[in-house]
């Protein structure tokens, strides 16, 4: 079958190119799987995809006339891909300065159905052609029409240039300002700055001054440690030009810039002496004084700043920020005398804010840990008041455990049943499923009273995942993408699917699935996983029977399986736990080097790798060797085995150590005793480490269900019919309605 597919594709391409020079023969199809799928497409379309590839190569090599010829041939033979052929043609004609031909070509892109991913790029090219041709008026009309499809800040810069061309300098100034102030780190900001100098000189007193909000926005977008000095320059320049609350805010943020650049002492001195009238600016000032005092270990200064915030800015979000910052640090220091009152104040004063859920959960869990008299009421209150929070499933689990301790097994079962259905792909669902294997819970019938209480909670609506059977729109895109992939145009192929996922308004899962299959087909399982995470971000809300098994295996792949199994077996480790750890550490990218200088699949530091390698007789391990999958897994499994041994086989502790270091894991262990490992997980004070443990153990459970037997231990896929789709359209930028 494969040989037949290749033969048919080759013969169709020869037919399409028989009148063209032999030196421009198209590349052979790179994906046999796609070749088989493409047999259902017209042979001319298959060959035309190859012609598009040749046209692109001609364009890239500077043979613009040749690119036009091949693009014309492709366009005439494959209407389904005409936008790709015509966009290549438009680029070539632009280089040849045949601007009228550019306009003709992009019209085909604009009229493509389904909407082409190339519309924005084609519109930008056409506008540049009109500007280069000294025809700014049609360029202005064109960009008004396609403004929302051209990426920013390119759209605003082109619009400003068109307004300049037609002599509307005030409007040009506005859009140049949008670029300069709104995108300070973009290359276009320099072009806008240069243009503004010229426009300002021409307009004189009629030049529209930038809005204070825009000036502060530019400084804010420069607010990170690398650009803090630039932010200070912008703020200092803005202060004389703004007044009122904006001026107060700019003055406060001069000190914030010092804090962000690591000059906490300067920031503390400046902000302490600063007096401002605007209430929110003053609240921000006090909040950063709290941050400065903490960084400088001046803990005695923190309380007065918090009291000032409570007295003068009780409901400000800056007070909330300061409270949580201090409380979280006190949790790291295991200082309940500090963090419990602060979390309580947060939950009471900001009950309607999303962050209040975190504060309330810390109070509720602490009471549960200590067998507090109010633990039961607090756990129920968390479910009732914060059912859509990240910790609602935690509350369900520990409410069930509390009911077990009270010997109310029917109520416990009701909690676990809801947890394992509503939050199926979570750590606490995994633990709850294990709890329900207890004979007493197996025999119990869920309590009607508890079920009624749980049903009354304002749970977030569970998303109904769309069908994996592509509708008409999705199928059209998938077919186009497969033809492009067949011709070796991987970037264009994936761009088609990415565009569909972002713009079609439905069946993002279909596009994510197709992207993942394409990536896996070329051996890029790590990229396949990232495509699912990016374009089907809600996939973990699905029950396992709502997607094909292949989808789940792409979301939870095991590349390098032989190495993982071999080295896991040698270290007496569960290979599925190792795969779960690798998925979280590196997403199976063997060449990744993190910002912390950790290498490869299991993210080992070179110093750690060299020390571990001596056990295997390797005296001088070079860092690059850690980017070899087999060596990385060999050393990583040995390291994890040692951690597991040091913590008596307690996986949660070993994972905490792997993520945050042995000294911290040992410290957190000393905060016990813990009745179960789930209690240790909740006691971990680092958000990242707490989540890491939960995710790895959840991953391991999914891996076992998918791969431990000959047949995956997951429910059969419940297929849904393909939808009847209607393509969504974006609204035109409202500002442009006034320029019609």
* Residue 380 near residue 364, CB atoms below 8 Å: no
- The yes-or-no answer on residue 676 being catalytic is no
Buried b (16+ CB within 10 A) or exposed e, 356-393: bbbbbbbbbbbbbbeeeeebbebbbbbbebbbebebbb
Q: From the CB of residue 287, how many other CB atoms can be counted at a distance below 10 Å?
A: 26
Cα angle 672, 674, 676; round to 5 = 155
Instruction: Give the count of beta carbons closer than 10 Å to the beta carbon of residue 623.
Output: 16
Nearest CA among 54, 116, 53, 123 for reference residue 79? 116
List the alpha helices (DSSP H) in 508-628. 508-521, 525-535, 549-555, 561-570, 575-586, 606-613
Within 8 A by CB and 6+ apart from 462, the residues are 422, 541
Question: 593 — phi, psi (to 5°)?
Answer: -125, 120
Give the CB-side neighbour count of residue 273, counting CA atoms within 13 A: 7
Taking alpha carbons only, the member of 342, 712, 441 closest to residue 551 is 712
541 within 8 A of 421, measured Cβ to Cβ: no
Selected catalytic residue, list 174, 264, 585, 652 = 585
The answer to whether the beta carbons of residues 541 and 422 sit under 8 Å apart is: no
d(CA 209, CA 207): 6
Cβ atoms of residues 270 and 258 within 8 Å: yes
CA 264 to chain centre: 31
User: Could you give the 3-state DSSP secondary structure of residue 604?
Assistant: strand
Nearest alpha carbon to residue 652 among 686, 676, 636: 676
The sign one gets for the Cα dihedral 340, 345, 346, 347 is positive
H-state helical runs in 239-335: 244-260, 264-273, 279-295, 299-312, 317-332
Q: What residues does 604 pair with on adjacent strands?
A: 599
CA angle 134, 115, 62 (to 5 degrees): 50
Residue 458 CB coordination number (10 Å):
11
User: DSSP code of 350?
Assistant: T
Q: Give the torsion sign (CA, 382, 383, 388, 389).
A: positive
572 CB-contact burial (10 Å; exposed 0-12 / middle 13-18 / buried 19+): exposed
| Phi, then psi, of 599 in degrees rounded to 5 | -110, 140
Collapsing DSSP to helix, strand or coil, 593 comes out as: strand
**Spatial CA neighbour of 289 closest among 314, 315, 318:** 318
- Rounded to whole angstroms, the Cα distance separating 154 from 178 reads 11
**Residue ranges in 602-676 assigned as alpha helix (H):** 606-613, 629-646, 651-660, 662-669
Question: Cα(400)–Cα(415) distance, rounded to whole angstroms?
Answer: 5
Burial of 295 per CB tally in 10 Å (0-12, 13-18, 19+): middle
Dihedral of CA atoms 562, 564, 565, 566 in degrees, nearest 10, equals: 80
Q: Would you name the residues annotated as active-site residues?
A: 585
């Amino acid at each position: 079958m494969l040989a037949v597919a290749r033969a048919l594709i080759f013969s169709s391409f020869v037919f399409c190119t028989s009148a063209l020079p032999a030196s421009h023969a198209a590349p052979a199809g790179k994906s046999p799987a796609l070749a088989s799928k493409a047999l259902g497409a017209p042979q001319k379309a298959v060959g035309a995809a190859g012609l598009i590839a040749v046209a692109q190569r001609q364009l890239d090599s500077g043979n613009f006339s040749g690119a036009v010829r091949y693009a014309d041939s492709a366009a005439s033979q494959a209407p389904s891909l005409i936008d790709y052929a015509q966009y290549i043609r438009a680029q070539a004609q632009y280089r040849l300065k045949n601007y009228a031909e550019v306009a003709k070509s992009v019209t085909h892109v604009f009229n493509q159905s389904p909407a082409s991913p190339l519309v924005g790029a084609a519109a930008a090219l056409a506008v540049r052609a009109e500007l280069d041709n000294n025809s700014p008026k049609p360029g202005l009309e064109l960009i008004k029409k396609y403004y929302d499809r051209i990426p920013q800040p390119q759209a605003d810069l082109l619009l400003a240039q068109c307004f300049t061309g037609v002599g509307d300098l005030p409007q040009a100034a506005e859009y140049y300002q949008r670029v300069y102030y709104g995108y300070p780190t973009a290359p276009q900001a320099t072009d806008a700055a240069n243009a503004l100098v010229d426009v300002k000189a021409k307009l004189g007193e009629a030049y529209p001054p930038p809005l204070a909000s825009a000036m502060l926005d530019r400084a804010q977008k420069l607010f990170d440690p690398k650009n803090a000095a630039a932010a200070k320059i912008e703020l200092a320049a803005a202060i004389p030009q703004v007044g009122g609350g904006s001026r107060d805010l700019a003055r406060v943020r001069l000190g914030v810039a010092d804090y962000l650049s690591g000059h906490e002492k300067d920031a503390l001195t400046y902000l302490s002496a600063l007096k401002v009238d605007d209430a929110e600016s003053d609240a921000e000032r006090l909040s950063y004084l709290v941050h400065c005092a903490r960084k400088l270990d001046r803990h005695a200064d923190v309380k007065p700043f918090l009291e000032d915030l409570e007295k003068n800015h009780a409901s400000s979000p800056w007070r909330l920020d300061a409270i949580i910052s201090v409380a979280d640090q006190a949790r790291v220091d295991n200082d309940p005398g500090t963090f419990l009152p602060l979390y309580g104040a947060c939950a009471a004063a900001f009950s309607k804010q999303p962050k209040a859920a975190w504060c309330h959960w810390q109070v509720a869990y602490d009471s549960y840990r200590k067998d507090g008299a109010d633990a039961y009421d607090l756990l129920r209150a968390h479910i009732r008041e914060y059912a859509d929070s990240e910790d609602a499933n935690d509350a369900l689990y520990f409410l069930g455990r509390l009911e077990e301790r009270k010997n109310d097994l029917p109520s416990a079962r009701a909690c676990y049943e809801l947890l394992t259905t509503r939050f199926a792909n979570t750590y606490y669902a995994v633990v709850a499923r294990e709890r329900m294997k207890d004979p007493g819970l197996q025999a119990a019938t869920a309590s009607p009273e508890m079920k009624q209480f749980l049903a009354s909670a304002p749970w977030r609506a569970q998303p109904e995942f769309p069908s994996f059977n592509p509708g008409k729109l999705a199928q059209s895109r998938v077919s186009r993408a497969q033809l492009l992939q067949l011709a070796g145009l991987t970037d264009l192929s994936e761009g088609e699917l990415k565009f569909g996922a972002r713009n079609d308004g439905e069946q993002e899962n279909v596009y994510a699935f197709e992207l993942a299959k394409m990536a896996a087909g070329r051996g890029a399982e790590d990229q396949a996983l990232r495509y699912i995470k990016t374009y089907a971000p809600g996939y973990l809300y699905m029950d396992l029977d709502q997607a094909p098994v292949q989808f789940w295996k792409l979301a939870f792949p095991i590349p390098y399986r032989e190495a993982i199994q071999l080295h896991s077996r040698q270290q007496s480790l569960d290979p599925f736990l190792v795969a779960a750890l690798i998925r979280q550490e590196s997403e199976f990218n063997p060449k990744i080097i993190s910002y912390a200088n950790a290498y490869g699949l299991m993210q080992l530091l070179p110093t750690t790798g060299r020390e571990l390698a001596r056990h295997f007789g390797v005296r001088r391990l070079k860092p690059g060797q850690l980017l070899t999958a087999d060596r990385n897994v060999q050393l990583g499994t040995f390291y994890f085995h040692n951690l597991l041994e040091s913590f008596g086989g307690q996986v949660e502790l070993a994972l905490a150590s792997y993520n945050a270091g042995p000294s911290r894991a040992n410290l957190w262990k000393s905060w016990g005793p813990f009745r179960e490992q789930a209690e240790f997980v909740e006691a971990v004070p680092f958000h990242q480490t707490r989540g890491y443990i939960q995710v790895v153990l959840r991953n391991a459970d999914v891996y076992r269900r998918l791969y431990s037997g000959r047949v995956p231990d997951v429910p059969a896929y419940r297929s849904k019919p393909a939808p009847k789709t209607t393509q969504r359209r974006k609204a035109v930028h409202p500002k442009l309605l006034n320029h019609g």
